[in-house]
Chains A and B, each alone.
Chain A
Amino acid sequence: MTVDQLPSRTDRFAAGRARATGARRSRASMTARRHRAFYLFTSPWIIGFLLLTVTPMAYALWLSFTTFDGISPNWKYVGLGNYRELLNDPVTWDSLGRAGLFAVTSVPLSILAGLGLAVLVNRPLKARGLFRTLLYLPAVVPPVGAGLAFKLLFDQNSGASNGVLTFFGIDAVPWLADPYARYVLLMTVLWAAGNVMIISLAGLQDVPKELHEAARIDGASSWRTFRSITVPLLSPVLLFQTVTGMIASVQTIMPLLLAPLGDTSGITTVPQSNYLYMMHVFAQYFALGRYGYASALLWVLFVLILVVTGLIFKFTSGAVFYNVDPEAKKK
């Protein structure tokens, strides 16, 4: 190779730039492929979310500003009229209050029951698998079936529960009417505590055994071990259950399934103590045909759920222990 044949500085620079550009292009192409793959895989969910969640919510928001009843020709835009009306509607506030009370009662009870069951079936018992299956079984029964079963079980005149009471000479109790109906409703929630149990059980099995052993060596009692080791390590699971349980409880339709009449107007036969917010929404939508007003009620509920969820996160942030390796987090 002669000196003339050596690449000049300019050529070398150009070649270097070309290599760099090629590498950049290759990196860009790789990034593009990754992006494409990401969006390709997430697009079914995104499209579904837009189509089946955002669109109906936006439509409901629009309806909430109208008097639309689904069929009549002369519905009109009323601006914030429906929202003003709900602020002055005592049934709205009463039903919201009852829904709140139901949530603060049923959620802790079902978490306690589920956690208690999880602790029990986490112990080395005989036929542990059978117990786990049996306790989880009610959770897989469809709510409609469960509602019907409870309705028959607690019927005043022909229900098995009163059959037992009368057998012992105790007068029959009108379980499905006020003031007892609320207890039957709570029972339906506790009956399905298997859901909470299975999640808590997964959390319990994640608690490192060596921590329990160390506590035992240090002389800690079972209760102290549970309180100081198990519960803190389970706290993210308990937070998850609190948030999802709260959302589910304010949206429950179980009172409707326990209602005396099964037709559209039957929504309002739900006893007063079980007439929760969603019953009011159902009644406005389907019995009274007030799509606009009912949509406003739902939007208010949506915002309230967001606020309450935010508050739960805020007030529990110091109490929830996330078992994350800090070094791994840095990497």
Chain B
Amino acid sequence: MKVKEGFMMRKVGDQIVVVAMGQAAKQFHGMMNLNETGAFVWELLKQETSEENVLEAMMENYGIDRERAKKGLDSFLDKLRTVGVLEE
């Protein structure tokens, strides 16, 4: 899985936002705010990767257990799927 082409993450002031460019902008007209963890996961999803790889990276980076990492990741991926940002 990875984020679809045309979706960009940018830092604007203190905020981290995702916006759509080009063809993607025809489908997504809004903006998503990400927190620091969301931004971390987004960076991993810019290249083709697996849920397992992302989970391991989260556990290592944040020092959290698998269950907590999976809960956070599932919630985030659901949001990305709802908005149509994820390619699987």
Do these two chains interact?
no
Interface residues of chain B, those whose CB is within 8 Å of chain A, are: none
Interface residues of chain A, those whose CB is within 8 Å of chain B, are: none
